[in-house]
Structure 1
């Protein structure tokens, strides 16, 4: 019986007895919610709101460019320029793989978008790898966001 009180004290000292890992279905549920929110913010076209989905030290590695945008200010500038003059009509994200732990979720997948620019509608498909980092409030934000166009 001496073991039980000692175990409780160790749990308390180590920051609680919470489970450190998430199941794949829990991670899938989190990513579904996060990707739905991203889609809504892209459709809104507001870079100021979109950047709230990123950590303060996030890294954005867009397709075809040399630059890596680090931090919310740089990422906001990128999205402000990228969203200028266009309207996202539709965005579908398909998560292909999920891995991680309680602090990070690693996601790969494909996203298809339909975007109106001037009088034309363009469809594009990208493959991506994202790293979502758990915040102190329990939410997950993008810490690494990288994508490349899929050429058919």
Structure 2
């Protein structure tokens, strides 16, 4: 799957599938109730741990807004909220990409945070944003990603010692 995604520079299941059977297999995997976002993120993190052993690395994080307004009629309401304009539906994703500092080669993803804003998302002033604890602010994603990435790297160090 990853090889096909890299080759096609796409995540369209129809485009990355070699045949109809593979396409059906991808959809069954993604629709399986036992496949959760948490498990997928854990799997990415575990794979990253194996790749970073003994390397000097760079951790790069950024947030993307995934706007799904064009698909609103076909979406299940679960797991989506409003995005930056407070009217379109979608969600946010904040991954941390780990690169080899020597050559820039991508080694994996140490963590991914997904969140949605409530459909009735209030602006900063209405929410008294400046008085909220950091853990209740979206900007907390930066601290949380750094902490989770540090845990990922510590797990790699532990595996090297064993």
Please confirm whether the aligned pair reaches a TM-score higher than 0.5, indicating the same fold: no
With the length of structure 1 as denominator, give the TM-score of the two structures: 0.30
Going by fraction, where is strand more abundant, 1 or 2?
1
Going by fraction, where is helix more abundant, 1 or 2?
2
